[in-house]
Amino acid sequence: MNHDSVEFTTLKKVTATILGMDVNEIEPEMNFFTDLGADSLDLYQIVMGIEDELNISISAESLEGLQTVQEALKLIESLTD
């Protein structure tokens, strides 16, 4: 997993924008809900932003059970390969 990747940079940027955080505060092991204070609507907005930025499509089913930034990154990377 590349923590300098375009995917990780995009994920951090979109997440920080939606949640009103500094992009440098976001770490891979963080949980969207408990660590970052996101709710399901925030996560939906983050996904929409990533889809726009990277021109990919993320299914609702693939988001089920998604908890951490690292899990989201793995999902994104699997769609951009």
* CATH code at position 39: 1.10.1200.10
How does pLDDT run along the chain (81 residues), one tens digit per residue? 566 799 999 999 999 999 999 999 999 999 999 999 999 999 999 999 999 999 999 998 999 999 999 999 999 999 987
The number of distinct structural domains making up the chain is 1
Choose, from 4, 39, 42, 52, the residue flagged as catalytic: 39
Tell me whether residue 1 is in a domain: no
Q: What is the C-alpha separation between 5 and 50, in angstroms, rounded?
A: 14
Tell me whether residue 47 is in a domain: yes
Element (H, E) at 63: helix 60-63
Active site residue 22: no
Considering the entire predicted model, what is its pTM?
A: 0.91
Tell me whether residue 57 is in a domain: yes
Tell me whether residue 27 is in a domain: yes
Tell me whether residue 28 is in a domain: yes
Tell me whether residue 63 is in a domain: yes
Backbone angles phi, psi at 50, to 5 degrees: -65, -40
**What's the domain range around 72?**
6-80
